[in-house]
Amino acid sequence: MGPKSKFIKVRCSKCKNEQIIFDKASTEVKCLVCNEVLATSTGGKAKLKTSILEILA
């Protein structure tokens, strides 16, 4: 188990919107622009559905 949670910058595969999401999202995360699902929750850790641009400290 990682001690720290992270923020991850991702790009929506559909509309190319860049968005920062939480590593340990407890709910589905959707693109704020087009509503595409960017990550789903898998018991505490987000499972990304799109490409990571950058991992933020």
Q: How many residues does the chain have?
A: 57
Is residue 52 at the binding interface for Zn ion, with CB under 5 A as the rule?
A: no
Supply the DSSP symbol for 13: T
The minimum distance between CB 1 and Zn ion, in angstroms, equals 31
Supply the DSSP symbol for 16: -
Interaction mask 1-40, Zn ion, x per CB under 5 A:
-----------x-xx-x-------------x-xx-x----
Handedness of CA 44, 20, 2, 50 (dihedral sign): positive
Interface with Zn ion (CB under 5 A): 12, 14-15, 17, 31, 33-34, 36
